[in-house]
Structures are given as structure tokens and as C-alpha cells.
Amino acid sequence: MFRLMLIVTLIAAPGLARAEPTIGARLAATCAACHGTAGNTQGSTLPRLAGQSQQALSATLHAFKTGQRESTIMTQIAKGYTDEQIELLAAYFAAQKSGGRP
């Protein structure tokens, strides 16, 4: 009986994990210090990430990473992410609603 319960728990575990924030959301938490919660930058100094297309965000992050687009801060930051992580970040911010206050 115990074994059966253990198996059921193990099978159910990935389902429970789905309620956790996505990997993209977790990666994006790092960006919030400068780009605001969920990419909704407040004020006009920094560009707003929320609502930009996934393609544009991904292209920009790759441009920062390769040095194609110059930026002191974002070059350093973008270099810390793999291509797969950049896609997850881009997908996350593209899915956020632009403009709303959190």
C-alpha cells in the first residue's frame, strides 16, 4: 500500500509543479529591478519589455549578447543567458500585458 501511494505521489508531482511560476517567469524576476514587474517599466528612462513581440525581444537580446547592439549594462546581462533561456525570457515578456500597473 505504501509503495502504491509513493508511486501515485511521484506520478502526481509533475502536475503539482505546473502551479509554480514558469521557468521564463523565474528568469525574468532578475530583470524586474530595472525593467519593472513583468516588464512594465515605470517612468520613461528604460524601455518597456511587456507586450513587445517575442521575435523582437529575442533579436534584441541576441544583439546585446553578440555586441551587435551596444549597451554597457545589457551586454553584460545578455551574455549570462543561453539561447534557450533568451527564448524563454522573450516568450515571457511578450505574453505580459503592456501598460497596466502591477
Report in angstroms how near the CB of residue 13 gets to ligand HEC at its nearest.
28
Nearer to ligand HEC, 55 or 71 (CB): 71
Helices 83-94, 54-66: crossing angle, 10 deg rounding: 140
Q: Hey, how many other C-beta atoms are within 10 angstroms of the C-beta on 70?
A: 9
- We find the least distance from the C-beta atom of residue 17 to ligand HEC, in angstroms, to be 22
Q: Which residues bind ligand HEC (CB under 6 A)?
A: 30-31, 33-35, 46-47, 49, 57, 60-61, 71, 73-74, 77, 89
Do 58 and 66 form a contact (C-beta atoms < 8 A)? Answer: no
